[in-house]
């Protein structure tokens, strides 16, 4: 839907060479300057204006939660292991063989290193400074929500699909790439491309099985996997230069892409879906730092709500989430043998800002790593990782890491709430979803 030119294959570097693409990226530029800066640093000097943005993934936990998936829940993991014994036999994975399989689709909010790997981008500290103590390709000082989800499931962090060294796909694959859109062609690794990568990965895996080889994930793994999706933030951000009503008119098309993706995955055997809504985009320092008139589009006055967030951005995010929740409800009625969980990330992230003092956060609208100081410490041209960045103290509690992405501290809070299942529709935890067994009519043994 974004005008965006041609195929989705062009890389950021290539984009810089093609005027049309550059124009497109300029539109996208509103989205995520951290990446832009990173690109400027490591790409040819001509690569100005490449803009990228992002979104986030979800988390699970055990606790209450009934399993939504029909079929004898209970001994899910055990059954899975048994069915995969053939595979697990040699794969002598130490301790417990990975019975958790997650296929994640999304943008930078859940990118565990894919964008960096694809672009050959060597991020520097302070990226990763708080937890990993080194840059990992994540755009944060530490873990992302998807990382906390994996920890809660006692499974390793997900390897990016395009990571050439050290990838381990036994517990799933992360197709998320920073800057990705749900809209085809809106970014090099838009959701349709991620879907095709999954189809490719699946086809190669089946090919291996047919050759008597052992892929990292077997038939059972594909079927019992949880398919997590967290995307849309970049699409919405890219439209925000349009009049408010036109932006709202674009939202259904973005949601439709996510719905198509779920349908396509389902058609290929996926049955467990964990879908994140988008956050309160109007509370991001990057958006707040964009110069605005005295009466910004949707809101009255300065366009800010009671908590200092941009009303028009949040209205668009809320619309997106409402439509995405509706789409999930529709899919639930159509795919009666699937579990489709929608997670209200907006409520979680908006609460983080609105009730920030309760979370020990002083400045919820200010980036930890950026430029310019209060109120937002964000400058599109002097973002985090630029030579002039102004960095908050290690240990300081900020919501925003670089103006677009959350800090480890914020992601921990968000993940903890995601893991309760209280923000899920239906109200289940991701752990129970992982453990549940699906009853598939055409369920063949591996
Ligand atoms: C999921 O299964 C594992 C292994 O059987 C178990 O330890 C865990 O408590 C289960 N979690 C839930 C939420 O059922
Ligand atoms: C702030 O916290 C209160 C008390 O938990 C809650 O009722 C309210 O909904 C929260 N505000 C937002 C905007 O989430």
Instruction: Name the phi and psi angles at 264, rounded to 5.
Output: -65, -40
For the chain, give every domain's residue range: 54-361+394-435
| Residue 307 Cβ contacting ligand 2 at under 6 Å | no
Provide the 8-state DSSP code for 406. B
| Whole-number Å distance between alpha carbons of 110 and 406 | 11
Ligand 2 atom showing the smallest separation from residue 354 Cα? 13
At residue 393, the 3 state secondary structure works out as coil
* Cα(153) to centroid(ligand 1), Å: 9
Task: Write a three-state SS string for 92-120.
Answer: CCCCCCCCCCEEEEECHHHCCCHHHHHHC
At residue 28, the 3 state secondary structure works out as helix
Highest mean pLDDT among 65-69, 92-96, 308-312, 438-442: 308-312
Indicate which ligand has the atom closest to the C-alpha of 155.
1
Residue 74 token pair? 């209970």
Residue 396 token pair? 């300081």
Mean pLDDT of the chain: 81
Residue 432 token pair? 């129970």
Pocket test residue of 72, 73, 339, 431 for ligand 1, highest count of atoms within 8 A of CB = 431
Residue 300 token pair? 């009255």
Indicate which ligand has the atom closest to the C-alpha of 79.
1
- Domain 54-361+394-435 in this protein, CATH class: alpha beta
Residue-level pLDDT at 292: 81
pLDDT digits (tens, 9 = 90+) for 390-433: 999 999 999 999 999 999 999 999 999 999 999 999 999 999 99
Contact 411, 144 (CB under 8 A): yes
Beta strands in 50-107 (DSSP E): 102-106
| Residue 161 Cβ contacting ligand 2 at under 6 Å | no
Q: State the catalytic residues.
A: 108, 402, 405
Residue-level pLDDT at 294: 56
Whether 127 has a pLDDT exceeding 60, the answer reads yes
Place of tokens 């990975």: 98
Beta-carbon contacts of residue 316 (< 8 Å; ≥ 6 apart): 236, 239, 240, 244, 247, 248, 251, 281
* Cα(126) to centroid(ligand 1), Å: 36
Place of tokens 């062009």: 10
Residue 199 token pair? 């189809």
- 272, β-bridge pairs: 226, 339
Pocket test residue of 77, 100, 424 for ligand 1, highest count of atoms within 8 A of CB = 77
Which burial class, exposed, middle or buried, applies to 131 when counting CB atoms under 10 A from its CB (0-12, 13-18, 19+)?
middle
In the chain, the percentage of residues whose pLDDT exceeds 90 is 71
Contact 389, 310 (CB under 8 A): no
Contact 69, 437 (CB under 8 A): yes
Whether 91 has a pLDDT exceeding 90, the answer reads no
Provide the 8-state DSSP code for 310. B
| Residue 62 Cβ contacting ligand 1 at under 6 Å | yes
Residue 23 token pair? 């124009």
Is the pTM higher than 0.75?
A: yes
At residue 397, the 3 state secondary structure works out as coil
pLDDT digits (tens, 9 = 90+) for 215-271: 999 999 999 999 999 999 999 999 999 999 999 999 999 999 999 999 999 999 999
């Amino acid at each position: 839907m974004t005008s965006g030119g041609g195929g989705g294959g062009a890389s950021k570097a290539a984009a810089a060479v093609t005027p049309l693409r550059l124009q497109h990226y300029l539109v996208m530029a509103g989205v995520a300057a951290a990446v832009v800066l990173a690109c400027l640093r490591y790409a040819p000097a001509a690569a100005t204006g490449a803009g990228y943005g992002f979104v986030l993934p979800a988390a699970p936990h055990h606790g209450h939660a009934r399993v939504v998936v029909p079929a004898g829940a209970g001994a899910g993991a055990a059954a899975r292991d048994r069915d995969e014994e053939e595979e697990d036999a040699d794969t002598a994975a130490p301790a417990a063989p990975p019975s958790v399989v997650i296929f994640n689709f999304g943008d930078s909010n859940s990118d565990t290193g894919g964008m960096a790997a694809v672009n050959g981008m060597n991020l520097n500290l302070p990226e990763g400074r708080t937890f990993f103590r080194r840059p990992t390709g994540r755009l944060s000082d530490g873990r992302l929500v998807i990382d906390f989800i994996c920890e809660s499931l006692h499974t390793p962090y997900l390897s990016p699909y395009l990571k050439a060294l050290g990838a381990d796909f036994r517990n799933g694959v992360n197709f998320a790439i920073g800057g990705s859109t749900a809209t085809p062609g809106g970014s090099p690794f838009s959701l349709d491309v991620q879907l095709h990568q999954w189809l490719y990965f699946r086809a190669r895996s089946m090919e291996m099985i047919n050759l008597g080889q052992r892929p990292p994930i077997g038939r059972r793994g594909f079927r019992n996997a949880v398919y997590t999706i967290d995307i849309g933030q970049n699409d919405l951000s890219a439209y925000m230069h349009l009049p408010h009503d036109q932006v709202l008119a674009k939202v259904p098309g973005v949601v439709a892409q996510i719905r198509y993706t779920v349908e396509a995955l389902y058609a290929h055997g996926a049955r467990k879906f964990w879908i994140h809504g988008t956050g309160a985009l109007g509370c991001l320092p990057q958006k707040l730092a964009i110069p605005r008139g005295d009466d910004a589009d949707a809101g009255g006055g300065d366009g800010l709500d009671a908590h200092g967030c941009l009303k028009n951005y949040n209205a668009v995010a809320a619309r997106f989430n409402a439509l995405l929740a509706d789409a999930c409800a529709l899919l639930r009625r159509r795919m009666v043998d699937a579990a489709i969980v929608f997670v209200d990330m907006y409520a979680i992230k908006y609460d983080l800002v609105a009730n920030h003092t309760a979370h020990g956060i002083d400045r919820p609208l200010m980036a930890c790593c950026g430029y310019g100081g209060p109120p937002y410490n964000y400058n599109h041209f002097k973002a985090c990782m630029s030579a002039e960045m102004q960095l908050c103290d290690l240990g300081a509690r900020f919501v925003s890491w670089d103006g677009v992405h959350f800090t480890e501290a914020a992601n921990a809070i968000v993940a903890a709430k995601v893991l309760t299942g209280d923000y899920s529709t239906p109200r289940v935890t991701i752990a129970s979803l992982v453990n549940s067994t699906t009853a598939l009519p055409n369920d063949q043994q591996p």
